[in-house]
Chains A and B, each alone.
Chain A
Amino acid sequence: MICPFWLHLRLFFVQIASMTPRKGERNMNDPLMIAGRSFRSRLLLGTGKFSSSRIMRDALAASETEIVTVALRRVDLADPGDNILSVVDTNRYLLLPNTSGARDAGEAVRLARLARAAGCGEWVKLEVTPDPQYLLPDPIETLKAAEILVKEGFVVLPYIGADPILAKRLEEVGSATVMPLGSPIGSNQGIKTRVSIEIIIEKANVPVVVDAGLGAPSHAAEAMEMGADAVLVNTAIAVAGDPVAMAVAFKKGVEAGREGFLAGLGRTRGVAEASSPLTGFLR
């Protein structure tokens, strides 16, 4: 005889299993939604630091990413043969210009407007990093810029420190996502801001994309297991010994982490749990 408790538990797992898409269909049934647009991949890629355009193109393809961010400072918007822009096929990828290098809201807004005027679309990854050493985002200027850009019709994806209150404030002014850093950009240290990112995920009504510091596929998997909606990776892929193989590894890390999250991770316990409960006789 199966007691009602176990029956419920079993039904719960059956439900979870039915929510978890089958092989080959998983992304179709579990899309990432940003600003009303649907994406199969939950891995966003950056385009800096690659040793050549060809390797960058191959890594983008291998990762199966659908959102590619490009630093406006690196590209020549007036040049159709620009070695980055010409590689990012906009039929295949959503081009996400970023304002890397901007020190304040005014500069970031100006860059975003220029990108839109040059035909780069409405989407912008907002980066306001006044400190060129650690490239940490300025919360005050980021919020100011987000508010202006949202009002002007941009789809704003802001890069932020892992600050739950800032994340809510950005959500309130209309940001399409929040993109907290796992650790300083390019540092490959993984998720050092776990406690704060957990709160951001818990409270968020917009997708949470863990943006910086992910140095290994396992870091990406960790972020996804925590319930992040997506991750953005650049350095770890661009400077890997084999960037294309690393792009594939990150794709798998993201998928594994997402599936683990959807499957419902077991609770971490500090002590062993007895398989023969001492109080079982009471039932």
Chain B
Amino acid sequence: MCFYDEMKGYHWDSVESEIMNRSRDDVEKALTSSSMNLDGLMSLVSPAAEPYLEEMAQRAHQVTQQRFGRVISLFAPLYLSNECTNSCVYCGFNMTNRIDRLTLTAEEALVEARAIRRLGFQHILLVSGEAPHLVTLPYLTSVVDLLRPLFPSISIEIYPMDTSSYEELIKHGVDGLIVYQESYNEDVYKQCHPRGRKSDFHWRLETPDRGGNAGFRRIGLGALLGLANWRVEAFFLALHAQYLLRHFWKSFITISFPRLRPAAGAFEPPCPVSDVQFVQLLAALRLLFPDAGLILSTRESPYLRDHLIPLGITSMSAGSRTEPGGYAHETHAEAQFAVADERPPEIVAEVIRSKGYEAVWKDWDAAFLH
């Protein structure tokens, strides 16, 4: 049994039709129900729910505050490599883009990590393109070994690996795995990922299963907003999260909201998601998953990020550099996406405090794993 078996029970077009035809009565029923479920989520992400956005936001705020308190965790990504063997049509690292490529040596990664640590971060996310010939398992474990003394928490957002590789990374001290499915629509997925290992929809879809089997403490999901109808993506994302919560009950599930931003290659998102819809998605998922971590990146503008703080977000990146070497090296390497919030982390932390929240730099300890 893997998630694909469960997903087969739902047809994209039928789910879409169901969502688009939800009425205000359906939305009110979902909002007055004592417990939320997938059916309720379909109502809350439907066009009929837009007039209820404020009510949904208020509830999302209350639920999040109850479960997580008045705190926002901060983390930073460390891009190890922008080499890639895929040609994702929306990505700056697309192998067909003529850009400066760079893979940091382990020592260079340590220099970057020290710069990130000096900014205050204690949670770090290692990111790379799909370049298993360069970003090898021994390379990754050597980087993790060097970073371990600096960071209580190390997560990865790299190319999908097999279970035994994940087990090895966990042994070296990686506690979190993030892998976005990009799109749960198999046809759209194939159009957007025409070449490379990533073109295999199943291999990517089952990555969280492999991560769960390996024992990651945190498993992060996400759909790339802009590729297909976000309302339907939300349904399948929720289905996926529910599946993982049942099967890997010891893992903490996080959901990210990557929204397509301008990048090299000038890809225009076919199904752009507006700010209003973004908030609707965030609030609906929070109401279905009161206990999930909801993560916001620097893809979004300062204005939007600041206003999303009380809406259900539990974790944010800040001061991010999305090119390898961006924190401490002179580099011309291409970034994965343009950062919209370029404020330094201490300014972001100050904004968090001004909103009545505490900016949390440490919420984990390496001692759990070793």
**A-B contact list, 27 entries, CB within 8 Å:** A48-B71, A49-B71, A50-B358, A51-B357, A52-B353, A52-B358, A73-B362, A75-B362, A76-B122, A76-B152, A83-B358, A101-B365, A103-B217, A107-B367, A107-B368, A110-B370, A111-B365, A111-B368, A130-B249, A131-B250, A132-B250, A134-B291, A186-B66, A235-B69, A238-B69, A238-B70, A239-B70
- Given A51-B356, A239-B65, A132-B70 contact (CB < 8 Å): no
A101, A102, A110, A235: the one contacting B66 at CB < 8 Å is: A235
Measured CB to CB, the closest approach of chain A to B321, in angstroms, equals: 24
Report the contact-size class of chain A (Cβ under 8 Å from the partner). 20 to 34
Q: Are B250 and A130 in contact (CB under 8 A)?
A: yes
Q: Is B134 an interface residue (CB 8 A)?
A: no
**Within the assembled complex, what's the spacing in Å between the Cα atoms of A239 and B250?**
26
Q: Are A132 and B252 in contact (CB under 8 A)?
A: yes
Q: Are A73 and B363 in contact (CB under 8 A)?
A: yes
B68, B69, B367: the one contacting A111 at CB < 8 Å is: B367
Q: A49-B68, A75-B362 are in contact. List 20 more A-B contacts (CB 8 A).
A: A49-B69, A50-B69, A50-B70, A50-B71, A50-B358, A52-B353, A52-B358, A53-B358, A73-B365, A73-B368, A74-B363, A76-B122, A76-B152, A76-B362, A107-B367, A130-B250, A131-B250, A133-B245, A133-B249, A187-B66
Question: Which A residues are CB-close (under 8 A) to B370?
Answer: 110
**Within the assembled complex, what's the spacing in Å between the Cα atoms of A279 and B362?**
70
A51, A53, A74, A132: the one contacting B362 at CB < 8 Å is: A74
Question: Which B residues are CB-close (under 8 A) to A102?
Answer: 368
Question: Which B residues are CB-close (under 8 A) to A103?
Answer: 217, 250, 368
**Within the assembled complex, what's the spacing in Å between the Cα atoms of A150 and B301?**
52
Among A88-143, those with CB < 8 Å from B are 101-103, 107, 110-111, 114, 130-134
Q: Is B52 an interface residue (CB 8 A)?
A: no
Q: Are A49 and B252 in contact (CB under 8 A)?
A: no
Report the contact-size class of chain B (Cβ under 8 Å from the partner). 20 to 34
Q: Are B66 and A132 in contact (CB under 8 A)?
A: no
- Given A186-B67, A239-B70, A51-B358 contact (CB < 8 Å): yes
Among B293-321, those with CB < 8 Å from A are none
B65, B291, B365: the one contacting A132 at CB < 8 Å is: B291
A72, A74, A110, A188: the one contacting B360 at CB < 8 Å is: A74
Q: Is B142 an interface residue (CB 8 A)?
A: no
Q: Is B4 an interface residue (CB 8 A)?
A: no
Among B320-370, those with CB < 8 Å from A are 353, 356-358, 360, 362-365, 367-368, 370
Interface string of A43-70 (1 = CB under 8 A from B): 0000011111100000000000000000
Question: Which B residues are CB-close (under 8 A) to A130?
Answer: 249-250
- Given A49-B71, A110-B367, A132-B250, A239-B66 contact (CB < 8 Å): yes
B-binding residues in A (CB < 8 A): 48-53, 72-76, 83, 101-103, 107, 110-111, 114, 130-134, 186-188, 235, 238-239
**Within the assembled complex, what's the spacing in Å between the Cα atoms of A83 and B349?**
14
Q: Are A48 and B69 in contact (CB under 8 A)?
A: yes
Question: Which B residues are CB-close (under 8 A) to A110?
Answer: 367-368, 370
Q: Is B85 an interface residue (CB 8 A)?
A: no
**Within the assembled complex, what's the spacing in Å between the Cα atoms of A84 and B82?**
38
**Within the assembled complex, what's the spacing in Å between the Cα atoms of A102 and B362?**
16
- Given A130-B250, A132-B251, A239-B367 contact (CB < 8 Å): no
Name the residue among A48, A50, A51 with the largest chain B CB count within 10 angstroms: A51
Question: Which B residues are CB-close (under 8 A) to A188?
Answer: 66
